[in-house]
């Protein structure tokens, strides 16, 4: 068994799982089962949200290790399900390593990708539905719709300028959301700036990150849980600080 090819296969699948939003225990268990299915001796897997380390003993007895940096995180349920299904199939059938890696490489392209216009519509519709839930009227919902459209455009197309820093991205987007909400209410499109702002900020709330953090802490993955908790706290601080800055600028104008 070619240990280098096996390690490359395992780390690639593990990184796809982590990038699509899988919890750390799922990443470690999936990679470990894949290694054992191909008779990887003394397989060891360690993962945190930003790094994956996989090690096994080669045929000559040497320990061989791969380490991959995980830079991007998100929530892609379809890709996550596809990775899970393929991992189970590879563990059950153990096809040749070249074939298995080719199938793993085709996973991202095989999942559906929505058009930017559809994604923007989702970003706009979510605040428009949250606003009445908090007590806003139809005009408040319409204001939240336009604000969500702008914030969604920043999230979707602003990666070139905002980069991958979640704190900075959240800070800028929450500032834009609060400022635009205030300006729209002043213009007469809406009556309650607080409800409009809260509805739009729901787009930025790190609900999935905090839920995964609590689950990993309960499961005993302390390092991963603390890392995700710190990330959620930073995002929450970015929302609070950005909103305050945006409203402050709006009061000056």
User: pLDDT tens digit string along 8-38?
Assistant: 999 999 999 998 888 888 899 999 999 988 8
The residue extents of the domains of the chain are 3-110, 116-252
Per the CB < 8 A criterion, the answer to whether 113 and 59 are in contact is: no
Burial of residue 49 (number of CB atoms within 10 Å: 0-12, 13-18, 19+): buried
Mean pLDDT, residues 206-216: 85
Spatial neighbors of 192 by CB under 8 A, at least 6 apart, are 135, 136, 137, 140, 185
Identify the band that residue 40 occupies on the pLDDT scale cut at 50, 70 and 90: low
pTM above 0.75, yes or no: yes
| pLDDT for residue 84 | 93
Beta-bridge partners for 65: 55
Give per-residue pLDDT as tens, 112-157.
Answer: 888 888 999 999 999 999 999 998 889 999 999 999 999 999 888 8
């Amino acid at each position: 068994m070619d240990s280098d090819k096996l390690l490359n296969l395992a780390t690639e699948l593990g990184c796809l799982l982590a990038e699509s939003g899988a919890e750390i225990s799922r990443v470690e268990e999936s990679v470990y089962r894949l290694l054992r299915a191909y008779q990887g001796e003394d397989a060891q897997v360690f993962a945190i949200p930003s790094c994956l380390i996989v090690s096994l003993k080669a045929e000559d007895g040497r320990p061989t290790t791969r380490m991959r940096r995980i830079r991007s995180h998100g929530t892609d349920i379809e890709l996550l399900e596809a990775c899970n299904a393929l991992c189970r199939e590879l563990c059950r059938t153990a096809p040749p390593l070249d074939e298995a890696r080719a199938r793993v490489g085709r996973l991202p392209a095989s999942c559906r990708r929505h058009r930017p216009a559809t994604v923007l519509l989702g970003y706009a519709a979510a605040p428009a539905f949250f606003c009445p839930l908090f007590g806003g009227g139809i005009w408040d919902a319409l204001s939240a719709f336009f604000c969500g459209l702008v914030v969604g455009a920043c999230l979707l197309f602003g990666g070139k300028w905002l980069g991958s820093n979640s704190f900075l991205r959240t800070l800028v987007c929450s500032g834009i959301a609060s400022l635009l909400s205030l300006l729209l209410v002043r213009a007469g499109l809406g009556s309650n700036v607080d409800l409009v702002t809260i509805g739009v900020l729901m787009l930025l709330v790190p609900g999935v990150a905090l839920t995964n953090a609590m689950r990993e802490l309960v499961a005993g993955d302390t390092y991963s849980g603390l890392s995700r908790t710190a990330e959620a706290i930073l995002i929450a601080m970015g929302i609070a600080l950005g909103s305050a800055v945006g409203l402050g600028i709006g009061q000056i104008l």
